[in-house]
Structure 1
Amino acid sequence: MLPSRTHAARLAALAALALAACRSTGAPDPARAGAAPAWERDNPLRPLPAAPLGIEVDWKAGQVTVTPEKVRLGRWLFYDPRLSADGTVSCATCHKPEHAFSETTPHSTGIAGKTGTRKSPSFVNGAFPVYPRYFWDGRAASLQEQAKGPMVNPVEMGRPSHDEVVATVSRIGGYRRYFAEAFGDERITLDRVVDALAAYEATRLSGNSAFDRFDAGDEAALTPSARRGLAIFFSYGRCNQCHLGQNFTDGRFHNLGVGWKDPGPGRPALEGFADRGRYEVTHDPRDLGAFKTPTLRDCSRHAPYMHDGSMATLREVMFHYARGGTPNPGLDEAIFRFPLSERDADDLVAFMEALDGEGYADAAPAHLPQ
């Protein structure tokens, strides 16, 4: 039996009241439920993050133009394993957000369980300040160029060419709308893919650490041990020769002797390093065994350490420096011996832990564009 007009009007009025209640409480609007796909609902457009205490950010002055639309698109792409040859490896496979976008293994593992020879470095605050070179050996000149490398590395994402990456993303119809929002039209190109990735990475900011609060005037922010470590760091330890600025890195390359083994009398120094570092890019003998200074931000969250993951703990790193590194023909002139007791090492580690910040936390979206 059809409802009466009065009954129908009453139902309409009740529906209107329910809709108003949903809107006033923030509950889902029944009329719009399901209007947006699942991947958009769990990765909504958000404003650019404010810089945390201790970090200066100018979104207009970086090497990548950062917009909310690019960041949202880049976040999907960063966690999307379909960019790899076998659909199992994403950027986040080696750059894990819970470990400050680094990892806890000595070497990275890519498609089919293939293992590289280096550990993935953290990129928190990687866009600020603007660094001239990226990767441990500095072979990339920008965050965008850096993003291209793993895609076609045979032991990482394993694509034979960048064209295959573009073709794969192009076949995913759900991405087209977001490329249009980020770039003005639906064209999907390699430059746009890596630009979006770089925009997302640029928003992974770490600050408001205990050190930042102490530096801003909160005397209670650092423990007594961390204060002693700070004193060593900036005085006779001279750690700030290379670990300086808001991100505690000079962005340059140094030979610490990590990985050096004397090749024997009469053998060339080139044979002493299994990984020759920056030298493989420049072919300058002065760059033999030199690697980029990593940020110390959140370093306690991604042991082991050094480019090859050869040092298991921060204490081991401290004693390596105190010994003056590992002597070799190209040892950096900034490396020198200094006295370090067990307590001193503990204090330096406490200071390193005081550089653990906040602002970059993330996890893979529950859904990806289809």
Structure 2
Amino acid sequence: MLRLALLSIFLLTLRVPGSLCAQETYFSDVPLGIDWIIVPQDNPMSAAKVELGKQLFFDVRLSGNGTLSCASCHDPNKGWADDRKFSPGAHGQFTTRNVPSVVNVGLHRTFFWDGRAASLEEQALVPMTNPAEMDISLNELENRLRSIDGYRLQFEAIFADGVTSQNVARCLASFQRTLVAGETAYDRFRGGHADALEGEIGRGSGIFFGKANCGNCHIAKIYTDHKFHNIGTGIHDTKQDRGLAQRTGKEADIGKFRTPLLRDLALTAPYFHDGSKATLQEVVDFYNEGGGKNANLDPHIVPLQLTPEEKKALVTFLREGLRSNVYPRIEKPQLPK
């Protein structure tokens, strides 16, 4: 069990590659299958910060018109995602990409489908200021939170400078890092329980890491390579969502999107950045047919020639073999007044 609420967060020092930071910290009180969650050195974890972040995550007052919270789209009852292809913002305008789950989001090195944010802290404020999402200015956000005594007092107890947009981001990021899931059948198998992958789940695992080559990008045990790939999604009338190219400006990056995590997939339909596949069976069929043909298709995406039985076993592994026994089930907290 995670014991973050009791502040039994075990902080250690970790040296990581220069592309991340010269030095970071991490907490290791995580379920089987997750080694640690990296924490920026300038935003150390604390129980007070996590609790405040949880309140902010569920509060619609963080949107301009008071109708939308982070949890409106990242719904705990929908896999901390949304069960719609695209999600409506505060004014009813829909997002252009599918909402990803925030479970295990602390494992990522970049954020958003196109990787345009380098940290959870940077990511946290983007939906708030986006006119198509929460549509609130940072100045208005700060003034609104300062006017709520319950929030103002908590911020002042944690931060010397009290309510600022950056401190809002720090609290939201801290809370999201606690949304950790693990102890899947495959995690137990890797942990030495050979019987955890018996029957069709075991056959599906063999196909996942073997004939289907899913493990080329969804590397065990975090199920991502932290890279961006063009698998042929997001193509409409010969036009394709630019993806990573929107950030880099490179034609070769058109259609490339971040490799997602795979734990608890059964809870997070629809799938892909464009929400184009409604079921795991459709996902497997898509890959089996060689993805969506386009000029920048990743060379790893080729027809798999799986039999119906192999496809069935692969779906079973994705649905059952990657289902977490330890999962963040959190109710909406009482909000400050």
Task: Give the number of equivalent residue pairs.
Answer: 313
CA offsets 1:101-140 (integer angstroms, 9 cap, x no match): 1111100111132211211111222213x51x21011111
The residue aligned with 1:47 is: 7
The residue aligned with 1:36 is: none
CA offsets 1:242-294 (integer angstroms, 9 cap, x no match): 1014321112111111122464xxxxxxxx21x22111111111110111111
Within the alignment, does 1:355 sit opposite 2:322 as a pair?
A: yes
Give structure 2 stretches of 5+ with no counterpart: 10-28
Change (3 A) 1:226 1:232: same
The residue aligned with 1:88 is: 67
- TM-score, normalised via structure 1 length: 0.80
Q: How does 1:304-323 map to 2 (within 5 A)?
A: 304-323=270-289
SS in 2 for 1:232: helix
The residue aligned with 1:106 is: 85
Equivalent residue for 1:66, pick from 30, 34, 45: 45
User: 1:48, CA displacement in angstroms?
Assistant: 4.7
Q: Which amino acid in the other structure matches residue 146 of structure 1?
A: Q
User: 1:232, CA displacement in angstroms?
Assistant: 0.6
Q: How does 1:165-180 map to 2 (within 5 A)?
A: 165-180=141-156
CA-based RMSD of the aligned residues comes to 1.9
Q: Which amino acid in the other structure matches residue 204 of structure 1?
A: L
The residue aligned with 1:284 is: 250
Within the alignment, does 1:162 sit opposite 2:138 as a pair?
A: yes
* Alpha-carbon separation, structure 2, partners of 1:255 and 1:249: 14
CA offsets 1:32-91 (integer angstroms, 9 cap, x no match): xxxxxxxxxxxx953256311111115656784221111011000000110001111000
* Alpha-carbon separation, structure 2, partners of 1:108 and 1:62: 33
SS in 2 for 1:348: helix
CA offsets 1:317-368 (integer angstroms, 9 cap, x no match): 1111111111111111221121112221211111112212123221211x20
User: 1:171, CA displacement in angstroms?
Assistant: 1.1
Moved over 3 A (4+): 58-64
CA contact (8 A) 1:100 1:360 kept: no
The residue aligned with 1:220 is: 195
Q: Which amino acid in the other structure matches residue 156 of structure 2?
A: A
* Alpha-carbon separation, structure 1, partners of 2:66 and 2:277: 32
CA contact (8 A) 1:205 1:359 kept: yes
Rg comparison, structure with higher value? 1
Q: Which amino acid in the other structure matches residue 369 of structure 1?
A: P
Change (3 A) 1:45 1:296: closer
Give structure 1 stretches of 5+ with no counterpart: 1-43, 264-271
CA contact (8 A) 1:62 1:127 kept: no
> Which stretch of the first structure deviates more once superposed, 63-72 or 83-92?
63-72
Q: How does 1:135-150 map to 2 (within 5 A)?
A: 135-150=112-127
* Alpha-carbon separation, structure 1, partners of 2:268 and 2:37: 28
* Alpha-carbon separation, structure 2, partners of 1:306 and 1:55: 23
CA contact (8 A) 1:248 1:296 kept: yes
CA contact (8 A) 1:314 1:349 kept: yes
SS in 2 for 1:127: helix
Change (3 A) 1:135 1:48: farther
Percent identical pairs in the alignment equals 40
SS in 1 for 2:84: coil
Change (3 A) 1:287 1:200: same
Q: How does 1:119-134 map to 2 (within 5 A)?
A: 119-128=98-107, 131=109, 133-134=110-111
Q: Which amino acid in the other structure matches residue 47 of structure 1?
A: L
